[in-house]
């Protein structure tokens, strides 16, 4: 599973350049996208931008930040779910808006972007990318040409688009931020002396010393006048329920982030504790699948008093692996990423904790690695319920036919994985672990109850 994108925006009232602060904020969000990165700034007269492919350090290799002057800036790190991985799809996207410059950076997925794109092409808009974010850019441009009012423009655009979106927009020296009316994607606000910072996750604030003030509310437009934070709620938000993505808590977000008022690390500890409540296994050690399952494993270990052990070590320097033509090469690729500590696992009854199972191929490999290292028993516990349907909101998952839990019972999966136990956390325990009411969460890929219209599920 891969998430799509992280965004940062900074509004400073001081006469200073803020692009390097956006860079550091994006650095803290690198886990949300490694395909490309970019920053756009406004210096009082001109818009400047730089985009590049790869990690932030690749995209900005040997870059001189003097070329990105200005005290207003936005930035983006990208993982693609719509559109290929190429420079043309890198954000921020730029255009003009009634004689002004506009830059936009988007996290999320616009479900109905194909039909909107066709309409815009018929009307003469020329696309340089194949992303839904450029659809958003031109929709805003088109509506703004009619209204010449940004708030009214967003009201109209929100009525046309379906999906998830957290967005930062720079229109000359004005910074705007918008979160979709269901709040599917996170977006938060911080302050650092004279500067306001907007970012996908609060970890981006910590790195630049800013203090988290609050989240951008679902359906809220945030903007700044004379360095005062202004807020407007789009009308449609009053009739739409919140639907925060549960997988931000289970897997995507960094554990040191706070999201919708909930501490992600604490949620994962709770998940481990609830896993123990539901599955009391007689085992020698509890082992996490590194890295995102570590807090849940600590939670299970604390509740069960079974010692926590690092049985698997992740090589953090392995990027994307190629599609390997032979089984031997595929097995090398998995071992490159993860290696067992034989002395920890040999002869042991192990509770192995993972955050989720998508296709099941990684889990199969992990079990094989542990068995080859001499594990006596493997009891696999998963920190969320079975994923039985795709995500339409910016999470690259799989189609229904590829999802192992959509096509097999838990018993069948247990056999396929070759484990002694396979146990999934219940929905009730997941919701309780997060601490947000059931009806304010998106659980679409778990229960097929999506917060918006979605295409036919395949």
Q: Which residue, 143 or 432, is less far from ligand SF4 as judged by CB?
A: 432
Q: Which stretch binds ligand SF4 (CB under 6 A): 75-83, 331-339, 366-374, 436-444?
A: 436-444
**Using CA atoms, how far apart are residues 199 and 75, in angstroms rounded to an integer?**
9
Count of CB atoms situated within 10 Å of the CB of 303: 18
Q: Which residue, 184 or 380, is less far from ligand SF4 as judged by CB?
A: 184
Alpha carbon 243 to its chain's center: 15
Q: Which stretch binds ligand SF4 (CB under 6 A): 87-95, 304-312, 361-369, 439-447?
A: 439-447
Size of the site for ligand SF4 (CB under 6 A): 11
Torsion (CA) 160, 166, 171, 175 in degrees, nearest 10: 140
> Does residue 367 touch ligand SF4 according to CB under 6 A?
no
CB distance 33 to 227 below 8 Å: no
What 3-state DSSP class applies to 147? helix
Q: Which stretch binds ligand SF4 (CB under 6 A): 97-105, 192-200, 407-415, 442-450?
A: 442-450
The β-bridge partners of 190 are: 197, 212
- Token pair 């009082």 in the structure block, residue: 44
Q: Which pairing describes strands 72-78 and 93-97: parallel, antiparallel, or unpaired?
A: unpaired
Instruction: Determine which residue in the list 246, 259, 303, 417 makes contact with ligand SF4, applying CB under 6 A.
Output: 246
5 part of the active site: yes
User: Where would I find the H helices in 180-248?
Assistant: 203-208, 246-247
Query: What does the per-residue mask of binding to ligand SF4 show for 320-359, with x meaning CB under 6 A?
Result: ----------------------------------------
Q: Which residue, 246 or 422, is less far from ligand SF4 as judged by CB?
A: 246
Instruction: Determine which residue in the list 39, 168, 445, 452 makes contact with ligand SF4, applying CB under 6 A.
Output: 445
Q: Which stretch binds ligand SF4 (CB under 6 A): 60-68, 244-252, 301-309, 415-423?
A: 244-252
> Does residue 403 touch ligand SF4 according to CB under 6 A?
no
CB distance 379 to 349 below 8 Å: yes
Q: C-alpha distances in angstroms, 45 versus 39, 90, 226, 423?
A: 17, 24, 18, 59
What 3-state DSSP class applies to 390? coil
Considering only CA atoms, which of 411, 332, 414 is closest in space to residue 367? 414
Instruction: Determine which residue in the list 110, 135, 391, 403 makes contact with ligand SF4, applying CB under 6 A.
Output: 391
What 3-state DSSP class applies to 398? coil
> Does residue 189 touch ligand SF4 according to CB under 6 A?
no
Q: Which residue, 143 or 354, is less far from ligand SF4 as judged by CB?
A: 354
Instruction: Determine which residue in the list 136, 393, 429, 434 makes contact with ligand SF4, applying CB under 6 A.
Output: 393
CB distance 258 to 210 below 8 Å: no
Q: Which residue, 245 or 294, is less far from ligand SF4 as judged by CB?
A: 245
> Does residue 395 touch ligand SF4 according to CB under 6 A?
yes
CB distance 4 to 395 below 8 Å: yes
Q: Which two tokens stand for residue 79?
A: 């993982």
> Does residue 442 touch ligand SF4 according to CB under 6 A?
yes
Instruction: Determine which residue in the list 245, 382, 384, 417 makes contact with ligand SF4, applying CB under 6 A.
Output: 245
Considering only CA atoms, which of 251, 339, 246 is closest in space to residue 296? 251
∠ Cα 285 286 287 (to 5°): 115
Query: What does the per-residue mask of binding to ligand SF4 show for 165-184, with x meaning CB under 6 A?
Result: -------------------x
Q: Which stretch binds ligand SF4 (CB under 6 A): 44-52, 64-72, 390-398, 408-416?
A: 390-398
CB of 158 to ligand SF4, least distance (A): 18
CB of 79 to ligand SF4, least distance (A): 13
Q: Which stretch binds ligand SF4 (CB under 6 A): 72-80, 254-262, 271-279, 391-399?
A: 391-399
Q: Tell me: cis bond preceding 92? Omega within 30 of 0 counts.
A: yes
The β-bridge partners of 263 are: 258
CB of 358 to ligand SF4, least distance (A): 11
Q: Which residue, 223 or 249, is less far from ligand SF4 as judged by CB?
A: 249
Q: Which two tokens stand for residue 300?
A: 């299970």
> Does residue 443 touch ligand SF4 according to CB under 6 A?
yes
Q: What one-character DSSP code corresponds to residue 308?
A: B
Count of CB atoms situated within 10 Å of the CB of 267: 26
Instruction: Determine which residue in the list 9, 108, 186, 444 makes contact with ligand SF4, applying CB under 6 A.
Output: 444
What are the catalytic residues? Answer: 5
Interacting residue ranges for ligand SF4, rule: CB under 6 A: 184, 245-247, 391, 393, 395, 442-445
């Amino acid at each position: 599973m891969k998430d799509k994108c992280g965004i940062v925006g900074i509004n400073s009232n001081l006469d200073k350049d803020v692009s390097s602060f956006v860079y550091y904020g994006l650095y803290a969000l690198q886990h949300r996208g490694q395909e490309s990165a970019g920053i756009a700034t406004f210096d009082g007269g001109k818009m400047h931008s730089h985009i590049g492919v790869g990690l932030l350090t690749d995209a900005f290799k040997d870059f001189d930040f003097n070329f990105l002057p200005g005290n207003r800036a936005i930035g983006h790190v990208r993982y693609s779910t719509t559109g290929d991985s190429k420079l043309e799809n890198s954000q921020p996207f730029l255009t003009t808006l009634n004689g002004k410059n506009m830059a936009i950076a988007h996290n999320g997925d616009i479900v109905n972007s194909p039909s909107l794109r066709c309409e815009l092409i018929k009307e003469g808009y020329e696309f340089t990318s194949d992303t839904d974010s450029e659809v958003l850019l031109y929709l805003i441009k088109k509506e703004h040409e009619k209204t010449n009012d940004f708030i009214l423009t967003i009201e109209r655009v929100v009525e046309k688009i379906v999906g998830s979106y957290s967005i930062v927009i720079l229109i000359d020296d004005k910074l705007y931020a918008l979160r979709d009316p269901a709040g599917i994607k996170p977006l938060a606000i911080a302050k650092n002396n004279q500067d306001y910072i907007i970012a996908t996750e609060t970890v981006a604030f910590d790195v630049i010393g800013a203090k988290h003030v609050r989240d951008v509310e679902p359906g809220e437009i945030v903007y700044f006048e004379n360095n005062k934070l202004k807020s407007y709620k789009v009308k449609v938000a009053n009739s739409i329920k919140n639907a925060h993505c549960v997988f931000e808590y289970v897997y995507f977000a960094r554990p040191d982030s706070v999201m919708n008022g909930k501490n992600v690390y604490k949620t994962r500890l709770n998940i481990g504790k609830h896993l123990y409540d539901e599955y009391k296994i007689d085992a020698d050690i509890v082992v996490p699948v590194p890295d995102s399952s570590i807090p849940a494993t600590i939670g299970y270990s604390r509740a069960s008093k079974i010692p926590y052990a690092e049985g698997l070590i992740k090589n953090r320097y392995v990027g994307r692996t190629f599609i390997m033509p032979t089984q031997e090469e595929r097995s090398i690729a998995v071992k490159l990423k993860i290696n067992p500590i034989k002395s920890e696992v040999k002869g042991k009854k192990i509770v192995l904790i993972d955050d989720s199972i998508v296709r099941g191929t990684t889990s199969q490999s992990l079990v094989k690695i542990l068995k080859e290292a001499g594990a006596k028993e493997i009891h696999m516990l998963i920190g969320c319920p079975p994923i039985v349907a795709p995500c339409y909101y910016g999470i690259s998952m799989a189609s229904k036919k590829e999802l192992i839990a959509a096509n097999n019972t838990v018993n069948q999966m247990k056999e396929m994985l070759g484990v002694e136990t396979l146990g999934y956390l219940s929905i009730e325990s997941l919701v309780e672990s997060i601490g947000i009411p059931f009806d304010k969460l998106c659980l679409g890929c778990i229960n097929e109850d999506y917060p918006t219209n979605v295409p036919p599920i395949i």
